[in-house]
Amino acid sequence: MLKFYHAPWSRSSTIFWLLEELGVDYEMELVDIRGENGAPEEYRKIQPNKKVPAIEHDGTVVTERAAITIYLGDAFPGKGLSPAVGDPDRAAYLSTLVYHDAVFDPVVCARVHGLSYVSNDYPFGLFDDMVAYLERKLSARAWAAGERFTLADVVLGGGINYTMNMLKALPERPVFRDYVARATDRLAYKESAERDAAMAAEIPFFQRMMAGGGEG
C-alpha cells in the first residue's frame, strides 16, 4: 500500500503531480499544516518537523521531495520516468533533484525574506548563481536530465512555475517560461492542479485568504 501525506497548495503538491504521472494506486491523507498549531503532534512520527510531503510504502516511510522522487521512480521503473542505474542521464537526474531541494528552494526563501549574505555564509550559495546555472542548464537541454521528461522535471518544473509565476521571486527569463510551458502541458499536471485547487478551497486558511483578496 502507498499512502501520501498531503496539504493542498504546499510543497507536497509537486508529489501529488508526480504520483499522477506514475499512475499508481495510492491513498491520500490530508495533513492540516495551516491550523492554529500546525499539523497534529502525532504526525511527527511520520515527519519530524510536521512538514509535507511524506509517503509510506508497504510500511516504509520516506520524507523530503528529492528522496520521495528517487524512491518512487525506482520503485516503479516500468513507468519510464526515472533513469535507471547505469543510464547516462542518471547523474543529471539525481543532481537536479538534490539541487532543487538543497539549493534552489533555500536560496529562493532567503531572497523572499531579504536575507543578505555572501556565498560562503551558507551552503546553498547565492541567488544570482542559481538563476544563472538554471538558465544555462535549461538552455542546453530540453529537460532537466536530458532529452526526455523525467520525474526531475516534475520537481524542478513545479518549483520554477511556483516561484516565477505565483511567488514572483524568480525572474521571468524566456528559457524558464518555455520550460514551464513544456513541463505543465501534461494531463497529470492539469488534473492534479485542478484537484488540488478544489481541496484548497475547502480549507479555512485559504477561504479567509480568498475572502480578503489574497492569492494562493
The angle, 0 to 180 degrees and rounded to 10, between the axes of the packed helices 151-161 and 174-184 is 130
Q: What is the mean pLDDT of residues 118-122?
A: 97
Q: What is the mean pLDDT of residues 49-61?
A: 97
Residue 213 has pLDDT above 60, yes or no: no
**Dist. CA 138–CA 143, nearest whole Å:** 7
Write phi, then psi, for 140 (nearest 5 degrees).
-80, -30
Residue 185 has pLDDT above 90, yes or no: yes
For residue 90, give every residue at least 6 positions away whose Cβ sits within 8 Å of its Cβ, in sequence order, or none: 83, 84, 145
**Dist. CA 216–CA 213, nearest whole Å:** 10
3-state secondary structure the chain: CEEEEECCCCCCHHHHHHHHHHCCCCEEEECCCCCCCCCCHHHHHCCCCCCCCEEEECCEEEECHHHHHHHHHHHCHHHCCCCCCCCCCHHHHHHHHHHHHHHHHHHHHHHHCCCCCCHHHCCCCCHHHHHHHHHHHHHHCCECCECCCCHHHHHHHHHHHHHHHHCCCCCCCHHHHHHHHHHHCCHHHHHHHHHHHHHHCCCHHHHHHHHCCCCC
Q: How buried is residue 37: exposed, middle or buried, by Cβ count under 10 Å (0-12/13-18/19+)?
A: exposed
Domains of the chain: 2-79 (3.40.30.10), 90-188 (1.20.1050.10)
Paired with 57 in beta bridges are 2, 60
Q: pTM (2 decimals)?
A: 0.94
Closest Cα partner for 144 from 62, 53, 66?
Answer: 66
Write phi, then psi, for 21 (nearest 5 degrees).
-65, -40
Between these two residues, 185 and 204, which has the higher pLDDT value? 185
Residue 192 has pLDDT above 80, yes or no: yes
Q: What is the mean pLDDT of residues 192-196?
A: 98
Q: What is the mean pLDDT of the chain?
A: 96
Residue 216 has pLDDT above 90, yes or no: no
Closest Cα partner for 169 from 125, 108, 214, 114?
Answer: 108
Residue 40 has pLDDT above 50, yes or no: yes
